[in-house]
């Protein structure tokens, strides 16, 4: 894998703070040409350093006021891929992680309200073959959301 240098890190620091910033502004801040920024960003994409881009939508504005983390215990850990395939079909499941600890999997789920959440749990998630238990943690407030820090090498 190619090495990431200080200019790459500086570019990443800028664009992770504002993905909509024009390359000309990034170039001015970094003291290089717009073409150099474009080439660097494309190289970082090709290397798998930058893995996506897009807009973040506030779920509350779409009526999804309840954010939950649901720990799922499976009958056997080897059932993970089959369960993930079923969870993919539930639009309210926005993240799924295969974990160590008390749960086999940890999911992040948005629901409109508690009744919707109960329906998701009882009629969708707990009905998936192999799911033996769930534990629900309701998020009252998201206090921190950020990207991993990008440090300039000294």
Q: How is residue 58 written in tokens?
A: 């506030």
Task: Determine the longest span between alpha carbons in the chain, in angstroms.
Answer: 57
- Please give the residue that has the higher pLDDT: either 46 or 52: 46
CA distance 51 to 54: 11
What is the per-residue pLDDT for 52?
Answer: 85
Number of H helices, E strands in the chain: 5, 4
Decide: residue 111, CB within 10 A, 0-12 exposed, 13-18 middle, 19+ buried: buried
Reported pTM: 0.83
What is the per-residue pLDDT for 136?
Answer: 98
Q: Are the C-beta atoms of 53 and 109 separated by less than 8 Å?
A: no
The answer on pLDDT for 126 being more than 90 is yes
pLDDT band of 152, cuts 50, 70, 90 = low
Decide: residue 11, CB within 10 A, 0-12 exposed, 13-18 middle, 19+ buried: buried
Angle at 92 between CA 87 and CA 97, to 5 degrees: 50
Mean pLDDT of 32-40: 96
Residues in the chain: 154
Give the mean pLDDT of the chain.
94
CA distance 23 to 43: 14
């Amino acid at each position: 894998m190619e090495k990431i240098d200080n200019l790459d890190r500086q570019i990443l620091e800028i664009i992770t703070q504002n993905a909509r910033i024009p390359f000309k502004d990034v170039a001015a801040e970094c003291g290089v040409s717009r073409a150099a920024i474009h080439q660097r960003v494309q190289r970082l994409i090709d290397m798998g350093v930058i893995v996506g881009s897009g807009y973040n939508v506030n779920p509350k504005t779409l009526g999804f006021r309840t954010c939950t983390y649901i720990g799922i215990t499976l009958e056997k850990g080897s059932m993970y891929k089959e369960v993930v395939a079923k969870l993919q079909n539930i639009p309210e499941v926005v993240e799924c992680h295969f974990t160590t600890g008390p749960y086999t999997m940890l999911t992040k789920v948005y629901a409109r309200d508690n009744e919707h959440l109960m329906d998701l749990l009882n009629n969708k998630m707990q009905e998936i073959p192999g799911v033996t238990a769930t534990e629900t943690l309701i998020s009252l407030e998201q206090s921190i959301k950020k990207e991993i820090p990008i440090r300039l090498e000294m």
